[in-house]
Amino acid sequence: MRRLLCIVCSMAFLLTGCSHSRQIESAAIIENVTVDRQDGGLVYTFYRLTSGDDPWGIAVSAKNFEEACRLASEEYIPNLSLSKLELLLISEDAAETVMTTDLPYISTQPFFSPVAYLTLCDDRTVDAFRKTNRTQRLIEQQLILLKNHNPSVSIDYLSVFNHLAADRAEGFLVPFIYSDKELKIAEYRLHAKKMTENH
């Protein structure tokens, strides 16, 4: 019994996992993703989790989110992890493609968090996001305030997906962030049917 205990204790020390540990700065945990259109094509920017104020983003041009994840993990971030994704920020002109193609893909992946925030925005907000990490905190604060003010607005991925699937004629409300010297928030009505037809 004593020998067994000694072996177990030694194993516990040897197999702590510290030998393969990585600092948070070098880990590939993605905290936010922005999607916008540049030169007609979609650009997905993956922002890694950092403790500083400067964002650490990697932009990937791709047809859809699935391809963007694959390219990002093959070419830039080998250990890409999306399980801690907090915010998916979609530029207004990329919304249609993301809602009709990317959301159904994300819904089948077990590692995505269904409670991650999802919001539409203008191009200036995407630019502001590239400059500082404080933008994310401001957006999240605005989203919570909007939800408290109007509970019918869908601010997370789960709620947006379910409204899209329900396909109601009157549509549903999602947040829209716009930048006019400072960040502001408004409600934006989406119609699942119209988007599917246009797409």
Partner 1 sequence: MSAETPFSSKRFLLALMLAACSVILLQNHSLSENSSFLFELASMAAGLALCFLCFVPTLLLRKLRNADILQLSARSPAVVKLPVAVFYAGYFVYTALYFLIPYTDMFHAKYYPGVSPCLITVVLLGCCVYAAVKGVNVITRFGIFLFLFAMLTNILMFGGNLTALELTADSLSWQGSTDDFWQNTRYFLTPAFIAAVFACLNAETNNFRLRQPVCALLFTGLKYAAVLFFIRFAVGAYAGRQEYPTFVLSRTAHFDRFAGVESFYLALATMSVFMIVSLLLCCVTKAADREKNLKTVVLFTLILLAMYTVSAYVNSVKEILTNQNVFIIFTGIASLLPLAGLIGGRKSNAPTLVHSM
Residue 76 binds to partner 1 (criterion: CB under 8 A): no
Residue 114 binds to partner 1 (criterion: CB under 8 A): yes
Closest approach of partner 1 to the CB of residue 59, in Å = 26
> What span, in angstroms and rounded, lies between the C-alpha atoms of 30 and 134?
16
Residue 61 binds to partner 1 (criterion: CB under 8 A): no
Closest approach of partner 1 to the CB of residue 180, in Å = 30
Contacts of residue 113, Cβ cutoff 8 Å, sequence gap at least 6: 83, 84, 85, 86, 157
The helix-helix angle for 134-149 and 123-131 (nearest 10°) equals: 130
Q: Note the maximum CA span of the chain.
A: 71
Sign of CA dihedral 59, 114, 128, 137: negative
Residue 19 binds to partner 1 (criterion: CB under 8 A): no
Closest approach of partner 1 to the CB of residue 109, in Å = 9
Closest approach of partner 1 to the CB of residue 84, in Å = 11
Among 6, 145, 165, 186, binds partner 1 (CB under 8 A): 165
Closest approach of partner 1 to the CB of residue 16, in Å = 16
Number of alpha carbons in the 13 Å side-chain half-sphere of residue 3: 0
Provide the H-helix boundaries in 26-180: 65-71, 95-97, 103-108, 123-131, 134-149, 157-166
Among 161, 172, 176, 188, binds partner 1 (CB under 8 A): 161
Contact residues for partner 1, defined by CB under 8 A: 104, 107-108, 110-111, 113-115, 158, 161-162, 165-166
